[in-house]
Amino acid sequence: MSAPTEPKRYVRPYGDTTGDGMVQASFTLPVPPGPKAEGAALQLAAKMGLEPAMVVHSHGIGTEFTFFVVYGSAKHILDLDEVTVVEREYPLLSPTEVNTEVKKMLRRKLVVVGGCIGTDAHTVGIDAILNIKGFAGEKGLEYYRELRVVNLGAQVTVPELVKRARGEKADAVLVSQVVTQRDAHILNTQEMSAAFREAMGDRCPVLIAGGPRFDPLMAGELGVDRVFGRGTTPGEVASFLIHALKETKVA
């Protein structure tokens, strides 16, 4: 078996041939369907750096809007050395392994309190992680024998969350935010983390924020221990809790 090749540092998108830069983009313009709309779409594609570009699909949406799919060559080159992401620094564990680690290190159940804070009424994210039905073929944290899960649901105020977490002696608090208008997800999470640190100081539980618009690089700015984005599975969260436990974050 040949050794894996080293990844290239400078890359362009791949379409028909390596490095041809070909990409596909879709968008809607508030322009009635017709030749002028297609011309506007091509001009936008050029301003996006796709040149030459072609309209491969257009469809009128009523009489005032047109949906487009354009295909063209991006001139931009990416330097992978400049790409910054949050790498997972802990192994993914099975539910059995998580239960074993909790039992060995705590000799009691790990308490997790979760909910959607502020006016956010979208529970799909927090339910995917906490509820036993889970997500992406994985069982939620309620399935883990050595975890005690308290799901507060939607529209939980920050004071209520802090009070409940203290009452339950939570080891970890998970908050989900889907509503992002005017950066509500950022402001609500910052308010939450500040309230926990003011109320509990060094005894603050592990704070985890999640939602489709969160950037995992924002954990420090938000004042939380971890940020999870779109597609996160219950197993990833459970494994992080074990990692935090081993890092003595959980007392």
User: Which are the catalytic amino acids?
Assistant: 133
Phi-psi region of 118 (alpha: psi -120 to 50; beta: other; left: phi over 0): left
Instruction: Note whether 40 and 29 are within 8 A (CB).
Output: yes
Q: What's at 219, amino acid-wise?
A: A
Per-residue tokens: 112? 């997790």
Neighbours of 128 (CB within 10 A): 21
Q: CA torsion sign, 127 to 131 to 133 to 134?
A: positive
Distance CA 12, CA 75 (A): 8
Note whether 24 and 57 are within 8 A (CB). Answer: no
Residue owning tokens 């790409």: 83
The amino acid that residue 53 corresponds to is A
Helix (H) / strand (E) containing 125 = helix 124-130
E strand or H helix at 101? helix 95-106
Q: In 10 A of CB 37, how many CB atoms?
A: 20
CB 76 within 8 A of CB 6: no
